[in-house]
Amino acid sequence: MHTVVVGTSGVSAADVVAVARANARIELSEEAVAALASARAVVDALAAKPEPVYGVSTGFGALATRHISQELRAQLQRNIVRSHAAGMGPRVEREVVRALMFLRLKTVCSGHTGVRPEVARTMADVLNAGITPVVHEYGSLGCSGDLAPLSHCALTLMGEGDAEGPDGVVAPAGELLAAHGITPVELREKEGLALLNGTDGMLGMLVMALADLENLYKSADVTAALSLEALLGTEKVLAPELHAIRPHPGQGASAANMLAVLKGSELTGHHQDDAPRVQDAYSVRCAPQVAGAGRDTMAHARLVAERELASAVDNPVVLPDGRVESNGNFHGAPVAYVLDFLAIAAADLGSIAERRTDRLLDKNRSHGLPPFLADDAGVDSGLMIAQYTQAALVSEMKRLAVPASADSIPSSAMQEDHVSMGWSAARKLRTAIDNLTRIVAVELYAATRGIELREGLMPAPASRAVIDAVRAAGVQGPGPDRFLAPDLAAADAFVRGGHLVAAVEPVTGPLA
């Protein structure tokens, strides 16, 4: 099993995905343990002094003006976790919770939080045991940390609340810890606060979204090329010299991918057979421009994620010179903005894919394909309602593209009077990515059928490889009407699992 070693300088996106999705084992570096002990010594020294220090010997948020006596401080830390574990709604996915906990552990190990080494070790032990706290959909405003989600995780460390075991069964957290030989933590000064105060949930979802979108943007380049081919379009618009004079990197990459897929096709460049068609429609001709802009958006989001992965987000923080200072680094705006930006780009990618699908099904615009790609149009409806399903998904994508980060709702008696809503941005982006996968799958289904209906013309070798692979995966080709939902589900699984890209690359080489 892959092992991720957590040090003081952050983690990589690959580390997050490995822990969240592949159950990678976690170890703490000696450097991290030393940094934890050093920062804890600073907090212990401050706790012994009579002067109040926020998070160490005071209340929290709007209650920060109260100085808490030493005999009540352990209770204070327990209480903040219990009271903040106030989430509601459906359970959040296991991979999100694992990413959330792992990224909180990453910040704890930075040596800027003042948490004891034994607390960090317990966090690693819980993740390594496959224990997943029950976290709910609602409870984070994306500011002062993903508070309720992180609190439910901290509650598990205390042996309270519910969690899911490695067998997928939900049980009391205390029982699960005992079954795996893990001793619940007894929180001390600042530790409860340090476990709650971070952008970890929204960051974890951003990292996984970028991994998913990398596959989807490559897949969308492939399906766009297949649609161009099925529509007898021209590949001349993909020439590198055309994209060099508008040098957006993503645009050039998408055009190169499409050109690689179409190499050797007998179906492209038939405009001379259809006199009124001088140029392809925008949804075909401008595919690299739209997908490329989304790719460039991803590049910016990846930069933000990398910076956040190298950050220590907590309040207050222990600085290298021994000071403990309050700050606003927990505000989720940098992450929230790119989460929203990605949802906008994904919605547009889904929209243009749907327009190509609709064109494939319309006998007046498909340049010779049968209506709705049906076997016997009128008797058969073909893919008519598959496009309805795709259109419904696109419509929801447009609603999901409305930014969450443009909203703010004051909380904590106006102490926390401007929030990022980054958690909400991340949650809707996950739905958008699910929808985009289905939209690309429907285009794949229509485009491969359209190519097969072009009798007497050979598709590109890469296209032939896709058709063979997708048929082997259970997605049937042209023929009389049948129960379509299983075909669409198989196409969805084919795209979602990365099999579309895997089918192409042995022919084209690695796609950009």
Catalytically active residues, by annotation: 54
Backbone angles phi, psi at 482, to 5 degrees: -150, 175
Q: Is 180 exposed, middle or buried (CB count within 10 Å of its CB: 0-12, 13-18, 19+)?
A: middle
Nearby residues of 374 by Cβ (< 8 Å), 6 or more positions away = 380, 381, 382, 383, 384, 481
Whether 387 contacts 297, CB under 8 Å = no
Residues 6 or more apart in contact with residue 407 via CB below 8 angstroms: 421, 424
**φ and ψ at residue 421, rounded to 5 degrees:** 60, 30
Length of the chain: 512
CB distance 482 to 476 below 8 Å:
yes
DSSP tag of 93: P
Phi, psi angles (nearest 5°) of residue 286: -100, 15
User: Rounded CA gap, 39 and 93, in Å?
Assistant: 33
Dihedral sign for Cα 37, 39, 45, 46, please: negative
Pairing state between β 317-318 and 170-172: unpaired
Residue 416 phi/psi, 5° resolution?
A: -105, 75
Q: Which residues contact 151 (CB under 8 A, 6 or more apart)?
A: 80, 81, 82, 84, 85, 86, 87, 139, 195, 196
Signed CA dihedral, 278, 283, 288, 290: sign only? positive
Which has the closest alpha carbon to 362: 255, 283, 470? 283
Locate 495 and state its tokens.
């795209």
